[in-house]
Amino acid sequence: MRITTPALFLTCLCADLTAIAQAPNDACADAIPISCGITVGGSTSEAMLDPAAGNCGTAVSAAGVWYSIAGTGEVITLSTCPSHTFDTKINVYTGSCGTPSCVTGNDDGGGCGTGSTASFLSEQGTTYLVLIQGYDGQTGDFELSVSCGPVTYDHCQGATPISCNQSLPGSTVEATADAVPFFCVTGIQAPGVWYTFTGISAPILISTCESSDFDTRLNVYSGTCGALACVAGDDDTEGVGLCSTVSLVPDPATTYYILVQGYDGQTGDFLLELACQTCGTPSDVSATASDETAYVFWTSLNPGATYMIEHGPLGFVPGNGVVTTGTVNGNAATAVITGLASGTEYAFYVQEECGPGDEPAHRALHLLHPRRGTRGERDLCRCPALGLWRKCGREHLRGLLPTTARMRTGPCHFARPLVHDHGHWRDHHGEHLRYSRLRHEDQRAHRLLRCTGLCGRLG
């Protein structure tokens, strides 16, 4: 009997195994040491995501590679501007790889397109961990430059001192991102530079309206550079334009820090003015009115001072009107004007007198008594050229620069108080009254302007 042994055929399914070259500094624990004055090449193309790296100055949104650098006590600047084939990001941390603490970060800084530049004041004896990664998952090759230098006003610790009635030039063009809280009355959207003052007890005005060639923002802090506390801030000075103005009464025992930055990443040159006032200017004036009575509200820097509100028919000469006086009853000051005639157009001026020898601080406010009307879809609109509000009808708006506002009395006057802080601040130096700046050459102090037409088509 023939026995046939079946042949056993084995098929080998062999995988094609290809070795992947992992970046040598892909892990934080394998960070490559770098030092001042060098430029190193690197790549994130074969890197893996870093789960322990939290958002720091900018989001961690791609795989990255790591470097480390020892603090020198100087400002360390890291940049991928020398070369990059993708949209880079830089994050800087201290601490351990397992629990890194954010120092700063940057995306698209340094004026080199999609390259990035991060700068920070280093401490001797501290090791900093640097992550180079990309925007929205992007990876590629780069060159990282490292430079070290002295502390400048680009950093809070190098803030430039500024004193009473001083104007200092500055520029944010070469500034780097600031590791400060995201919001202080305004958002922090652009690199900025720093100023500082202390020992001032008089009401002050801080402004970039004397000169600026970009849309500025001001943020004022107290505390220390490592633990800043927001005090005040401003974006656009109402009725003037894209410059910024902040007023406050400082504590002479407190050190304040001023950050000058820009809207939506804008940078440029400016003059920063700090004006000290013995009798601070009333601001944020608003009013509501009935047929015969006006209720006036304003922000005062001089609680306890004497206010004088003079009113008269529109166009009257100050000194010939009816004066209402009283004591400023707080920072949120209020007053009442009585005896007005319905349907009459008035102007009134708010002044404060702080004491013997002080020049009265004052603001002009125009009050309009129109013919009676009913509230409609156009009962509140704005004249963009003057920053003035109009209510309850189609009559024209008129404004007296530099400090003017409008309101109407009648049955719809309680629709909304009018907000007033238009034109620019005035400060006093001895007997000389100075207007810091008006935006346009054709805007003259006390020039009567008109704004006519319907809402949306005011001329």
User: pLDDT in tens for each of the 459 residues of the chain?
Assistant: 444 444 444 444 444 444 456 789 999 999 999 999 999 999 999 999 988 898 998 999 999 999 999 999 999 999 999 999 999 999 999 999 999 999 999 998 888 999 999 999 999 999 999 999 999 999 999 999 999 999 999 999 999 999 999 999 999 998 888 877 778 999 998 999 999 999 998 889 999 999 999 999 999 999 999 889 999 999 998 778 899 999 888 999 999 999 999 999 899 999 999 998 877 778 778 777 777 888 888 888 888 889 999 888 888 888 889 999 999 998 889 999 988 888 888 887 888 887 665 555 555 544 444 333 322 222 222 323 223 222 222 222 222 222 333 333 333 222 222 232 333 222 222 222 222 222 222 222 222 222 233 333 333
Cα of first residue to Cα of last residue in the chain, in angstroms, is: 117
28-149 and 283-451, same CATH topology: no
Per CATH, the number for 156-276 is: 2.60.120.380
Nearest to 61 by CA among 115, 136, 131: 136
Helix (H, G, I), strand (E, B) or coil at 135: helix
Does the domain at 283-451 match CATH 2.60.40.10? Answer given as yes
Nearest to 261 by CA among 239, 276, 242: 242
Per-domain residue ranges for the chain? 28-149, 156-276, 283-451
Residue with tokens 């430029």: 39
The residues with which 280 forms a beta bridge, in sequence order, are none
Q: How many H-runs (helices) and E-runs (strands) does the chain carry? A: 0, 33
Query: Are residues 390 and 419 in contact, defined by beta-carbon separation less than 8 angstroms?
Result: no
CB neighbour list of residue 146: distance below 8 Å, 6 or more residues apart: 34, 35, 36, 37, 38, 39, 40, 69, 76, 77, 78
Nearest to 47 by CA among 61, 33, 68: 61
Q: Is 431 exposed, middle or buried (0-12, 13-18, 19+ CB in 10 A)?
A: exposed
DSSP secondary structure letter of residue 29: G
Dihedral over Cα of 243, 246, 252, 256: its sign: negative
The residues with which 376 forms a beta bridge, in sequence order, are none
CATH topology for 28-149? Jelly Rolls (2.60.120)
